[in-house]
Structure 1
Amino acid sequence: MKQSLRFLALFAGASLALAGSRVAPDLPNSSTVDVIVRFSNPPTKSELQALGSYGQLKKIFNNVSAGEVLLSPAKIPTLLANDPNIAYISPNRTTNGSLDITTSAVNAVFAWSLGYDGTGVGVAVIDSGIALHDDLKTSTGTGLRVVYNESFVSGLDASDQYGHGTHVAGIVGSNGRDSSGVGFSRTFKGVAPNVNLINLRVLDANGAGTDSAVIAAIDRAIDLKNTYNIRVINLSLGRPVFESYTLDPLCQAVEAAWKAGIVVVTAAGNYGRDNSRGTKGYGTIAAPGNDPYVITVGAMNASGTGGRTDDKIASYSSKGPTAFDHFVKPDLVAPGNDVVSLMAPGCTLASYPKTLISDASFQPGTNGKSGLYFKLSGTSMATPVVAGAAALLIQKTPSLTPDQVKARLMKTAQKALPLFSTGYDAYTLVAFSNQSDIFTVGAGYLDIQAALSNNDLTTRAAISPTAVFNSATRTVTVLRDMSVVWGDSVVWGDSTTSGFSVVWGDSTLLACTIQALSADDEDGLQ
């Protein structure tokens, strides 16, 4: 009874957050605060002028119906009273950035054999920037496939001092130019090796950013959609969840992109080992991966081979359900461990010795450490694998909607995964037990060959289903709304049905605070 009451109390707290204040619970009580003001309907010119009278209006996000304002918290009650169109005010929160083997593990080679390489499709990489690299040039080496560059970090250009964005961009679309030809034993090629990349920088040299920068970048991607045929946005970053996705401006921004016809792929987070609340890592999905529309990606450990039979869930990969709204996440998983991709010269992440690889590892007979490629681990690395897969599907069938892309990727994902596996921390050698259920692997393991071979065209929304807790049995069931695609066909295979009856811990999974998704993606993640 005590356990049930504790669960119900947390459930009630989440409901109050949904129905109560129009101000975020984590708004700091300082003299001035940088906030995101989100409107229920597109604001009028007079509304924006009035908003500016309360403080410094720094940015307007036209596609998201929001603005960034620097003001005194004491003015917020009057602001809300005078404008009922204001839906929610939240602080400008901090966000953080959270291949030969990788591409083989997801059957990308099958796509290439059919001529699908992402040609003509634009993928916006919202990250720490993209450095110049031979592998991001055209096949002839004479042109650039990074077709647009813009920074949303004050005082910094769109180059990549951190190294995360370049690595992510390579996983999406490296053509392997600098690791191909005579004398090379491995080629580090991205999933969609001829895709066009749109570089929208939001993270600084330490991998830190803000909600306003990410929202501004998403807003720009929507504006540039038709110019560069931007059909996919990759977000290998995230932050804690503080409220329902219906209130969170970051979630509303990704939904605006989704509804504009852009597939949004986000990282689940790297906190699957977090047992600080007694949940064994469950309930640690980061924002905006908690939004039910977007494709949220967890990480698999490919075990250093191109085959799939020895692959297992990465122990650090964040698990669902989402805080407050209890959506089943992640939506699927992809390789994210020890992924070799492009290095930005002199970047922060390359200063960590364990990220470096030897030249001899892909070019026998050479010496020293590579200055072209390095390895990182995390759901940040799994996310661009799925973004690249989405680009391949869109190249094959340009008329696909974001919901149809998500539905195909989830329906065709490999369901047969080991029910239990063990992962080890590379530094401490501490063992972590993993269970393959719907909150760890979602609909399964990305399979590009199966996705390209599927021709289903759902007309329904591919909203991630809701997990419902039974306080009497302390078990979880999945609510499939018949108005969405999951009512059409079975997406969840037998190997993941154990997740339907996961017993939640005493502290439950509804607490709103989770740790930030870091982009540091150290090699210690296994």
Structure 2
Amino acid sequence: MPGLRTFPPALRRPLAAAVALPLLALAAPAAQAEPDDGPAQVWLVEFAEGADASVLEAARDLDFAVRHDFERIWNGVSVEADPATARRLGQLGHVERVWSDVVFTGPARLGSDVLTESAAVPELAQAIRTTRADVAHDRGITGEGVKVGVIDTGIDYTHPDLGGCFGDGCRVAYGTDFVGDDFDSDDPELSEPAPDDDPADCAGHGTHVAGIVGADGEVTGVAPDVEFGAYKVFGCEGSTSAEVIMHALETALDDGMDVVNLSLGQSFQWPGYPTAKAADRLTEEGVTVVASMGNDGEYGIYSGSAPGVGEDVIAVASTDNPAQRMDAAHVPALGRGIGYRVIDASPAPETGTATGGLVWLGRACADDASEGDVAGTAALIVRGTCTFKEKYERAVAEGATSVVVYNDRPGPFGGGGVEDLGVPIIAVTDTDGKDLHDLAAIGEAPVLEFDGETVLVDLPRGGLASSFTAYGPAPDLTFKPDVAAPGGGIWSTVPVADGSYEALSGTSMSSPHVAGAAALLLDAEPRLEPRDVRTRLANSAKPVPWGDNPDLGELEAAHRQGTGVIDIVDALDAEACLYPTGVNVGDGTGPRTFELTLTSRDQAVRDYTLTHRPTIATTGDDHDPGFSAAEPEVTFEPQEIRLHPGQSATIEVTVKPSAELPAGSVFGGRITARPEGDGESLTAAYSGYQGDYLSIPVLEHPEFPRLAAIVAQDPETHEFEYRDPADGETFSLAEGPALAALVYLGHQPAAMEVSATNTDSGEVVEWDPEAFLPRSPGPDDAMGLHLEDLVAQRPNALEPGRWTLTVRVLKALGDAENPEHWEQWTSPEFTLVE
């Protein structure tokens, strides 16, 4: 199975480490964990309720060092220890759980091309018109006096749109660099932070995020008068860790931030993970916390990220802008410019240059026949079937001086995974690519001229849920995401050294839009609590149509858009509130009932009528769901309510799923309280599971679990290569070959237990269970349980002899005491030698 994509070894870093993805769409793939070169690593030790760090006094004989006590935001500490010591710490009284300090992969490095000054125009303006932030500005509501913390790659505070300076009297008034420019938590040689007081951004992502929150200059952000806290948790490249992010959350609290934005996360995660719990604790302290839902929509349902899935965090989905500004290449044969994006890490076309005449090469995979002679000119290629790297290398090998790849699906795209071969490779849209192909097919050989201009490119999902935006609910069925905002094709600030402005896409871009909206609400009403901010934004949000077929008139799934795209003016003007704003009604096949509370903020008596509108349901497999428009039956008791000023009323809502809805579906809808007269309607949303949630298989896969021998690890991707063991092959922990169990998790398990049994003596060796695990991202992604990493927790536990490995998983929401809630696999017998 060479080249199999896998998770990193588990139990050394728990499975959460495997799914730390950047919340920037079109970024490089997640880096996997490095093998453990030394015994010491960082762990997060969580204490039971009411306990504190004093419980570690009982472990004074163990070799560990406390790094940080997070008592203000999370009941636990970070420690440095070897795996065996970490295991023993987990066995102390009043220690709830020991978590590995997991990897959060950083966003891709921005390009360094300097764009023309005229480029800094409309896309952020489009976005703030979508949410009516511009109307709030006209009212004088601009976020003045509100502090917004940006936990990200730092902020280029020299950017004129962000104030031009750092410190007292500057817009970026607070900030800390927790890691240093060279930090990369996924590289053992660079994984020790080197903090300082300068949060300057050398990666670009945080500056883009800050611009969306509150730029004031060539572009205007959602809240252009906010004060910033810049909390740098990434180096110039690479990853960060949960420990660093939690330290930043704590500092943002100490600095008095009113709002904190986290455009980062760990995909497929549970609300119980420490970063999510720490973010929840900030809301208890009065800080509104906003986070990206994640960019794993292609991987199906239950793909949301922590900390966004935190119970009290505002998790934000993304919709696309109508158009995106891109670098332009003028095509004389077409009489217009076309947008393009450089495929990293090839060289960018230089301003003032042109390609040779485009010649059609075809799909350009390694085994494809050449469909044209590209020697000494430009190759035109269609996307798909094989990697960009393979297409690029093929074109260069045939003598192409530049490469143009056009999309095989609607809209612009980007990518990476190529090595710089000295030849530019750029990506263009499907429509522009087909126009170029038509010209090349009749021998016109069109030329692309790079003049430093930009062009607006239509986005096919404009106003709809972005193709990348992740689905909820959380694996414990918590309703997520909460709301949506524009995140696809957003033109905002980037470091001056990188050209000052750039268009990026991702829930990284939608989250700061909502953080800016929260700042506007707090500007207008400073006494709002975090729950009030989320309620106002969610109640007033407007739904978007189902993106896969908008003409059908169905609404996008509630567990993908929340209550919809925020409407800041309606949130400001709300005369009542409907709470809670997102409810999951659980599993089963029959009716489910829940309660909503409607509270008046009005100065007059007003009558309300409750109505329901269903949203599209997802059906079938977690990873590749289908869709159903089967409508639930919803009733209200009462359906009509008269509220006097300040009065509250409770509504009992009963949802009866359609009998036509397949088992395994996640369904949902919108509950709206419509006022009589000209008041603003108030909306809450719900989701639910049709059938027995415990029936979702976890270990069921045609190829996994299985035993495998480790062949090698790719030094760049960190993915492992495996092979099937030979008949009668023996394994040695000292001499190799190394042995692993490859396990595929079809759904998030609540716990996993691993044990080994000596088939000669009957001896059983057990390792500490893992809790709240993510599922495998794609349909063929397995994780490697490496035997040497298991032994690191129990040194010398496995003697020479014949053994089997057993893996048990507790299903999500399962009862650990009920054997029927567990799945189990036992490996074939294998032999260990000295």
Contact residue 245 and residue 290 of structure 1 kept, 8 A: yes
Rounded to whole Å, the distance in 2 between the matches of 1:441 and 1:161 is: 32
Cα shift at 1:168: 0.2
Contact residue 43 and residue 86 of structure 2 kept, 8 A: no
**1:290-305 superposed matches below 5 A:** 290-304=309-323
Which segments of 5 or more consecutive residues in structure 1 lack a partner in the other structure?
A: 1-20, 180-187, 275-280, 351-370, 424-433, 517-526
Amino acid at match of 1:273: E
Cα shift at 1:224: 2.0
Cα shift at 1:321: 1.2
**1:121-270 superposed matches below 5 A:** 121-132=146-157, 133-137=159-163, 143-153=169-179, 154-155=193-194, 157-176=198-217, 179=218, 188-225=219-256, 230-241=257-268, 244-246=270-272, 248-270=273-295
What is the aligned length?
427
Contact residue 14 and residue 102 of structure 2 kept, 8 A: no
Cα shift at 1:407: 0.8
Rounded to whole Å, the distance in 2 between the matches of 1:294 and 1:394 is: 16
- Alignment partner of 1:383 is 2:383: no
Contact residue 125 and residue 199 of structure 1 kept, 8 A: yes
Amino acid at match of 2:194: G
- Alignment partner of 1:340 is 2:500: no
Amino acid at match of 1:67: V
Other structure's SS at 1:336 match: strand
Aligned twin of 1:447:
567
Cα shift at 1:310: 5.5
- Alignment partner of 1:326 is 2:446: no
Rounded to whole Å, the distance in 1 between the matches of 2:545 and 2:87 is: 53
Contact residue 443 and residue 496 of structure 1 kept, 8 A: no
Q: After superposition, what is the alpha-carbon deviation per residue over 1:342-372, rounded to whole angstroms, capped at 9, x for unaligned? A: 11134xxx5xxxxxxxxxxxxxxxxxxxx22
- Shifted more, 55-64 versus 396-405: the winner is 55-64
Cα shift at 1:456: 3.1
**1:6-17 superposed matches below 5 A:** none
- Alignment partner of 1:496 is 2:603: no
Amino acid at match of 2:267: P
Change in CA separation of 1:457 and 1:446 when aligned onto 2, cut-off 3 Å:
closer
Contact residue 268 and residue 302 of structure 2 kept, 8 A: no
Cα shift at 1:290: 1.6
Cα shift at 1:487: 11
Other structure's SS at 2:488 match: coil
Cα shift at 1:469: 2.9
Change in CA separation of 1:91 and 1:103 when aligned onto 2, cut-off 3 Å:
same
Other structure's SS at 1:69 match: strand
Other structure's SS at 2:251 match: helix
Rounded to whole Å, the distance in 2 between the matches of 1:380 and 1:259 is: 24
Cα shift at 1:33: 3.1
Amino acid at match of 2:209: V
Q: Percent identity?
A: 29
Change in CA separation of 1:45 and 1:468 when aligned onto 2, cut-off 3 Å:
closer
Contact residue 234 and residue 387 of structure 1 kept, 8 A: yes
- Alignment partner of 1:513 is 2:554: no
In proportion to residue count, which structure has more strand?
Answer: 2
Cα shift at 1:287: 1.1
Rounded to whole Å, the distance in 2 between the matches of 1:441 and 1:409 is: 13
Aligned twin of 2:375:
none
Cα shift at 1:97: 5.0
Contact residue 89 and residue 98 of structure 2 kept, 8 A: no
In proportion to residue count, which structure has more helix?
Answer: 1
Contact residue 123 and residue 196 of structure 1 kept, 8 A: yes
Amino acid at match of 1:303: P
Aligned twin of 2:67:
58
Change in CA separation of 1:31 and 1:45 when aligned onto 2, cut-off 3 Å:
closer
Rounded to whole Å, the distance in 1 between the matches of 2:572 and 2:249 is: 27
Amino acid at match of 2:285: A
Change in CA separation of 1:451 and 1:209 when aligned onto 2, cut-off 3 Å:
same
Q: 2:576 aligns with which of 442, 451, 456?
A: 456
Aligned twin of 2:102:
93
Amino acid at match of 2:173: V
Cα shift at 1:101: 1.1
Aligned twin of 1:184:
none
Cα shift at 1:507: 6.4
Cα shift at 1:513: 2.2
Other structure's SS at 1:313 match: coil
Structure 1 or 2, whichever has the larger Rg, is 2
Which segments of 5 or more consecutive residues in structure 2 lack a partner in the other structure?
A: 1-10, 18-34, 108-123, 180-192, 325-455, 601-607, 619-631, 633-656, 666-695, 699-745, 749-773, 779-834
Other structure's SS at 2:199 match: coil
Rounded to whole Å, the distance in 2 between the matches of 1:205 and 1:403 is: 35
Amino acid at match of 1:389: A
Contact residue 97 and residue 238 of structure 1 kept, 8 A: no
Contact residue 271 and residue 277 of structure 2 kept, 8 A: yes
- Alignment partner of 1:466 is 2:576: no
Contact residue 408 and residue 451 of structure 1 kept, 8 A: yes
Change in CA separation of 1:207 and 1:74 when aligned onto 2, cut-off 3 Å:
closer
Cα shift at 1:59: 1.5
Rounded to whole Å, the distance in 2 between the matches of 1:61 and 1:300 is: 35
**1:92-111 superposed matches below 5 A:** 92-96=101-105, 99-111=124-136
Change in CA separation of 1:195 and 1:514 when aligned onto 2, cut-off 3 Å:
farther
Rounded to whole Å, the distance in 2 between the matches of 1:143 and 1:236 is: 26
Other structure's SS at 2:298 match: coil
Rounded to whole Å, the distance in 1 between the matches of 2:505 and 2:307 is: 20
Cα shift at 1:92: 0.2
Contact residue 576 and residue 599 of structure 2 kept, 8 A: no
Rounded to whole Å, the distance in 2 between the matches of 1:245 and 1:492 is: 30
Q: 2:39 aligns with which of 8, 31, 35?
A: 31
Change in CA separation of 1:507 and 1:101 when aligned onto 2, cut-off 3 Å:
farther
Rounded to whole Å, the distance in 2 between the matches of 1:445 and 1:286 is: 19
Q: After superposition, what is the alpha-carbon deviation per residue over 1:443-467, rounded to whole angstroms, capped at 9, x for unaligned? A: 1111111111114367x7x574225
Change in CA separation of 1:304 and 1:269 when aligned onto 2, cut-off 3 Å:
same
Cα shift at 1:74: 1.7
Cα shift at 1:54: 4.0
Other structure's SS at 1:383 match: helix
Aligned CA RMSD, in angstroms, stands at 3.6
TM-score by length of 1: 0.73
Aligned twin of 1:521:
none
Rounded to whole Å, the distance in 2 between the matches of 1:388 and 1:492 is: 30
- Alignment partner of 1:75 is 2:85: yes
Cα shift at 1:377: 0.2
Rounded to whole Å, the distance in 2 between the matches of 1:36 and 1:344 is: 34
Other structure's SS at 2:517 match: helix
Change in CA separation of 1:340 and 1:50 when aligned onto 2, cut-off 3 Å:
farther
Cα shift at 1:422: 5.9
